[in-house]
Amino acid sequence: MSVAIDPGKVPQKELYSGEKIPAIGLGTFGSDKYSAQQVAEAVYGAVRYGYRLIDCASVYRNEYEIGEVLQKIMKEGIVSREELFITSKVWNDMHDNVIESCKQSLRDLHLDYIDLYFIHWPFPNYHPPGCDVNSRDPNSKPFSLDEYINTWRQCEQLVEMGLARYIGMSNMTIPKLDAVLPLCKIQPAALEMELHPSFQQPELFNYAVERKILPIGYCPLGSPSRPERDRTEDDVVDMEMDEIVEIARAHNVHPASVCLKWAVQRGQVPIPFSVKESQYTSNLKCITEDPLTEEEMEQIRKADKNCRLVKGQVFLWKGAKGWEDLWDMDGTIAK
């Protein structure tokens, strides 16, 4: 293990409450390539190295193993529960039973509370892990404001019950947020969304920031380990973009470091996933030193290719025209 980073030297971001959280976290979506135990071992090593934000989800099927190592870490005195910021998410098939979903995650993670609990996707259906892009759940349905608010009300109950400190949304669009936010009794603390140099979502990013909703970016490195079902011939490889490679050479770092420096300096919280010690340690260390210049940040801003990698085809309902309907591409909520 490399010499640990002092967590106090890791940049922080601010939630609407004024509370500060780490500006980078460790993702735990191991796709279909890594076992739950491999992911859990990475969490153990990452926390020992200095990570304090761990992004989890019930559908990743590794929360129990992660919970075991969290217990181990705390018993060893490496970190206290209060020093950790743990997220989890309710999956699509549990939108009507959010409280039980959260309680199960708490049991698996061996925790008394979740720091931030998300609605993973705004679609109330079940998508079996491992399905390909042509698979369809016959019960898939488009977004329903009434159903989503019912799910959000249950999330609000989690806060009232002390089971979650904050609640958030994920994979939303501006039309959906315009409909939902006026009805929220507790505002979302964060919005988790795909964010990387070739897919910057400036309108959605700014929309969240203006409302004091912290953007948390998944796929910050362009998700090289994402499932085959999400790959298409038109996908851009962020770490091979000319602008990223050029800046990496100037700083004598790996292109991944440039992607993460950009993300943190822009104002989002990236949650890169890796089970390799050399990678997750480098990912944390790089944001504590040698920042990008304003000119380099502008260079990356202009390099946006509007290339969504996680298209979500598996959530399409009968009658949907294509994956674009999931993201309300025409500016209205697709039905």
Residue showing tokens 């420096």: 261
* Mean pLDDT calculated for residue range 112-140: 78
What is the C-alpha separation between 272 and 266, in angstroms, rounded? 16
Residue-wise pLDDT tens digits, 240-249: 999 999 999 9
Q: Which pLDDT score, from 0 to 100, does residue 335 have?
A: 87
Residue-wise pLDDT tens digits, 272-281: 999 999 999 9
* Mean pLDDT calculated for residue range 310-334: 90
pLDDT over 70 percentage in the chain: 95
| 52-61, 83-92, 218-227, 321-330: range with lowest mean pLDDT | 218-227
Confidence tier at 234 by pLDDT (50, 70, 90): confident
Question: Which tops the pLDDT comparison, 171 or 141?
Answer: 171
Task: Give the pairing type, strands 12-14 and 164-170.
Answer: unpaired
* Token couple for 287: 């944001």
Q: Is the model's pLDDT at 131 over the cut of 60? A: no
Q: Which amino acid is at 88?
A: S
Longest alpha-carbon distance in the chain: 54
What is the C-alpha separation between 293 and 203, in angstroms, rounded? 23
Specify whether the CB–CB gap between 57 and 89 falls below 8 A: yes
Architecture (CATH level 2) of domain 7-327: Alpha-Beta Barrel (3.20)
Give the chain as a 3 state SS string.
CCCCCCHHHCCEEECCCCCEEECCCEECCCCCCCCHHHHHHHHHHHHHHCCCEEECCHHHCCHHHHHHHHHHHHHCCCCCHHHCEEEEEECHHHCCCHHHHHHHHHHHHCCCCEEEEEECCCCCCCCCCCCCCCCCCCCCCCCCHHHHHHHHHHHHHHHHHCCEEEEEEECCCHHHHHHHHHHCCCCCCEEEEECECCECCHHHHHHHHHCCCEEEEECCCCCCCCCHHHCCCCCCCHHHCHHHHHHHHHHCCCHHHHHHHHHHHHCCEECCCCCCHHHHHHHHHHCCCCCCCHHHHHHHHHCCCCCCCCCCHHHCCCCCCCHHHHHCCCCCCCC
Distance between alpha carbon 243 and the CA centroid of its chain, in Å? 24
Burial label for 167, CB within 10 Å (0-12, 13-18, 19+), is: buried
Task: Answer left, alpha or beta for residue 274, where phi above 0 means left and psi between -120 and 50 means alpha.
Answer: beta
Q: For all residues of the chain together, what is the average pLDDT? A: 94
Nearest in space to 48 (alpha carbons), one of 29, 74, 12: 74
* Token couple for 245: 């490679």
Ranges of each domain in the chain: 7-327
Nearest in space to 162 (alpha carbons), one of 204, 115, 130, 221: 115
* Token couple for 229: 């079902």
Q: Which pLDDT score, from 0 to 100, does residue 75 have?
A: 97
| 30-34, 113-117, 234-238: range with lowest mean pLDDT | 30-34
* Mean pLDDT calculated for residue range 160-167: 98
Q: Is the model's pLDDT at 125 over the cut of 80? A: no
Nearest in space to 258 (alpha carbons), one of 170, 214, 198, 171: 198
Q: Model's pTM, two decimal places?
A: 0.95
Residue-wise pLDDT tens digits, 63-82: 999 999 999 999 999 999 99
Active site residues: 60
Q: Is the model's pLDDT at 201 over the cut of 60? A: yes
* Mean pLDDT calculated for residue range 164-191: 98
What is the C-alpha separation between 116 and 189, in angstroms, rounded? 8
